[in-house]
Structure 1
Amino acid sequence: MSTSSYRLILNGKSAGDEALREAVTTLRERGVALDVRVTWESGDAERYVAEAIADGVDTLVAAGGDGTLSEVATALAHRDEAADALPTLGLVPLGTANDFASAALIPEQPLPALELVLARPARPIDLLRLDANNAVHWAANLASGGFGTQVTVETHDGLKKLLGGLAYLITGLSKLGRIEPIPARISGQDFAWQGDFIALGVGNGRQAGGGQALCPDAVIDDGLLDVTVIPELSGEVADTLSTWLKQGKHAALDEAALRVRLPWVEIASVQPFTLNLDGEPVESTHFRIACVPGRLRMHLPMDCPLLAGA
C-alpha cells in the first residue's frame, strides 16, 4: 500500500474522460491515496495547489494539456518554499497536442501515466519565467512567437477537439499566404541579434503548437534556455513552412534557423506582438525570459529525452 498522498488537478474540459476515471478507481483499489479536483474557472488551480500544500499532499498530478501543466507549475513556482519543500509534480496528458508530454515520452494513456508518477522518483526541473507588462508568467514548456504562435492562437477549439494536432496543420497551411515578419531585437549574455523573424522559440522544452520542434535539443535540467530564431525567408516562406508543417519536423528550417543557448533573453520590438506561453498568449513590446534552475521536482520516464544525459 502506498504511504504517499496524491492529488490530481483535472482540467474541467476533460472531466468526462472515462479512461481517467477507470485509472483513478484502479489505483484507489490498490491502496493509493488519490484525490481529484476539477478546475472550472480562472484561479481554481492556484486554490487547489494551496489547499493541497495545507493538507500535506506529497504529489500533485496535472491532468490536461500543456496549459494545465503550466497552471499547476505556476501555482507551485511563485510560492516562497524551495523546490524540495513543495509537492512533486506529475502529468497525465489529456490535451490536444500534449507537446510537453510527447517530447518527454510520458505515456498517453491515463493509467500508465499515473503508474509512472508512482514508480519514478521526482527529478529537479527548470522552469521558464517571463516578465512583461509588469507581470510575471511561468511555463514548463516553451514560449513561441511569430507564425507558430498565430497558428496556435487562431486554431478553433472545435477543430482542435475534432482533429487533435492535425488542426494546427490545417490552420497553419491556411495562413501561409499571409505571414507577416516581426521586427525585433533579441539579446542575452554575450549575444545580440536584430532583424525580422517569422518564428521564434524560447524553450525549456522542445516543441509547441502540435509538434513544431522549435527547440529540438532543449533539456529541462541544464539551467539554460534554448533560443531559436527563424529569420524572414524572402521568396521561400510558403514552400519552407509548408514542408515544415507537413513533416512535423524542424529539418526543413535547419539551414535558416539561428540557435543559441542562454540563461536569459530579452526580446524587444517597436510594435506589440504575442508570445504564446504554453497556451497563454501574452502581448507586449518587451519581454524578458529567464531560466529558473531546479524550481520544481517532476516525475518523468527513466529515458526521458528532456533530461540531460538521458
Structure 2
Amino acid sequence: MPTPPWFLILNGKSAGDDAVRDAVARVRDRGQPLLVRVTWEAGDAERYVHEAIAADAAVIVAGGGDGTLSEVAEALAHTGEAAAALPALSLLPLGTANDFATATGIPVEPLAALDLISSSGARPIDLLQVDGDGAVHWCANLASGGFGTEVTVETHDGLKKMLGGLAYVITGIARLGRIEPIRARIHGEGFQWEGGFIALGLGNGRQAGGGQVLCPDAVLDDGLLELTVVPELSGELVSTLGTLFSDGKHAALEQVAERARLREVWIEAERPMTLNLDGEPLQARRFHVRCEAGRVRMHLPAHTPLLSG
C-alpha cells in the first residue's frame, strides 16, 4: 500500500531557500513522498489544499509565517469537513517573527520542523472565526487591534526582511507619539466593557506583531478565546508602554488590562477599525469573533504550553 503523501504549501517568498530545499530532499530520501506547491497569488493556498485532499494527503505543511498558517487553516475550515476527515496540519516557520512557532516551540530549522510530523501525533486545535461586517475570515493564532496592529500593518516588508522582529520595534517607537485610542463597546457572555483602548488581543495563540504577548494564558484546544483589552493610558502609566507587551506576565500589563476567556466576542466601534488576523488586516465597525473548537488537527511539540493537556 503506498505511503500517503505530505503536501508542502510554500509561500513564494521562500521558494529559493536552500535550507528548505535540503530538508525536502532529506525527507524524500527517507521514503516519505513530499509534494511541494508554491503560492503566487490569492486563492493558491485553497486550491492546493483541495489538491492535497484529493490526493489523500496525510499532512499539509504550511511553509511560511503566521499568515501562511492561517491561510492554509482557513482553506481546511472552508471544506466543511470534520477535522478527523481532513489531512493534519503542520508548520514550517519561514516568517519574519514566527510568533506562533515561538509560542508553541515549533523548531524554526526546516528539517527539525518537518521531523516534528513523525515524532508527534496530530492534536485537535481551535480556530478563530472572525466576521467583520459580513466578511468571514479564519485565524489560527491571534487577532489584534489598536497600537500593535498599526505597528504590524505599517512595518515595511523591506524593513522586515532586513531586520526581522527588530523592524516591529523600530516602527513601534516611531508611533509612540501618535497613539490614538479606539472607542468601542466589547461584550460577550458575562463580560461588558466600553471605552477607549490602545491595544486589543483575541487569542487562540499568545503573541503577535514580533513578540507582543497580548494573551499570555491562551491555549489552542480549550474551546475558548482569550480577550485582552488595554485601555487608553494616562499619567505615569504611559511610560510603561515600551515594556507593556514584552512579557505577557509583566506587572504593567496585569495592572492595566481587562481580561476574559470567552467562546465569542462582539466588538462595536464608533468608526471603522482594523483587526490584524495573523498579518491580514480586516477593517470594519462591527466584529463577531467566535472560537471554533477542534476545527483542525495539528502536529505540535508534545510539551508545548499552548495545549491544555
TM-score, with structure 2 as normaliser: 0.97
Residue of structure 2 equivalent to 1:76: 76
One-letter amino acid matched to 1:213? V
The answer on whether the counterparts of 1:2 and 1:33 sit within 8 Å (CA) in structure 2 is no
The answer on whether the counterparts of 1:244 and 1:250 sit within 8 Å (CA) in structure 2 is no
Residue of structure 2 equivalent to 1:264: 264
Shift of 1:2: 8.8
Shift of 1:227: 0.1
Residue of structure 2 equivalent to 1:171: 171
One-letter amino acid matched to 2:232? E
- When residues 80 and 243 of structure 1 are mapped into structure 2, their CA distance, relative to the original with a 3 A threshold, is closer
The answer on whether the counterparts of 1:176 and 1:238 sit within 8 Å (CA) in structure 2 is no
Shift of 1:224: 0.2
Shift of 1:42: 0.5
- 4+ residue segments displaced more than 6 Å: none
Q: Does 1:200 align with 2:200?
A: yes
Trace 1:206-285 onto structure 2 (pairs within 5 A): 206-236=206-236, 238-244=238-244, 247=246, 249=248, 251=250, 252-285=252-285
Shift of 1:249: 4.9
Q: Deviations over 1:228-263 (max 9, x none)?
A: 000011134642111236x45551322101110000
Shift of 1:54: 1.1
In structure 2, distance between residues paired with 1:200 and 1:231 = 9
One-letter amino acid matched to 1:124? P
- Percent identical among aligned pairs is 65
Q: Deviations over 1:52-97 (max 9, x none)?
A: 1111111100000000000000000111211100110000000001
Trace 1:26-41 onto structure 2 (pairs within 5 A): 26-41=26-41
- When residues 111 and 130 of structure 1 are mapped into structure 2, their CA distance, relative to the original with a 3 A threshold, is same
Residue of structure 1 equivalent to 2:96: 96
Residue of structure 2 equivalent to 1:54: 54
RMSD: 1.3
* Partner SS for 2:208: coil
In structure 2, distance between residues paired with 1:295 and 1:253 = 30
In structure 2, distance between residues paired with 1:99 and 1:156 = 18
One-letter amino acid matched to 2:76? L
- When residues 34 and 270 of structure 1 are mapped into structure 2, their CA distance, relative to the original with a 3 A threshold, is same
Residue of structure 2 equivalent to 1:117: 117
In structure 1, distance between residues paired with 2:15 and 2:236 = 44
Residue of structure 2 equivalent to 1:20: 20
In structure 2, distance between residues paired with 1:238 and 1:255 = 13
The answer on whether the counterparts of 1:2 and 1:31 sit within 8 Å (CA) in structure 2 is no
In structure 2, distance between residues paired with 1:143 and 1:109 = 26
One-letter amino acid matched to 1:173? I
In structure 1, distance between residues paired with 2:135 and 2:152 = 22
One-letter amino acid matched to 2:116? L
In structure 2, distance between residues paired with 1:175 and 1:238 = 13
In structure 2, distance between residues paired with 1:304 and 1:253 = 23
One-letter amino acid matched to 1:235? G
One-letter amino acid matched to 1:160? K
One-letter amino acid matched to 1:37? R
The answer on whether the counterparts of 1:214 and 1:250 sit within 8 Å (CA) in structure 2 is no
Residue of structure 2 equivalent to 1:286: 286
* Partner SS for 2:221: coil
One-letter amino acid matched to 2:269? S
The answer on whether the counterparts of 2:215 and 2:248 sit within 8 Å (CA) in structure 1 is no
Aligned residues: 308
The answer on whether the counterparts of 1:142 and 1:208 sit within 8 Å (CA) in structure 2 is yes
Flag structure 2 segments of 5+ consecutive residues without an equivalent.
none
* Partner SS for 1:180: coil
Moved more, 228-237 or 116-125: 228-237
- When residues 53 and 176 of structure 1 are mapped into structure 2, their CA distance, relative to the original with a 3 A threshold, is same
The answer on whether the counterparts of 2:4 and 2:56 sit within 8 Å (CA) in structure 1 is no
* Partner SS for 2:171: helix
Trace 1:112-191 onto structure 2 (pairs within 5 A): 112-191=112-191
Shift of 1:203: 0.4
The answer on whether the counterparts of 2:216 and 2:248 sit within 8 Å (CA) in structure 1 is no
In structure 1, distance between residues paired with 2:216 and 2:239 = 21
- When residues 206 and 265 of structure 1 are mapped into structure 2, their CA distance, relative to the original with a 3 A threshold, is same
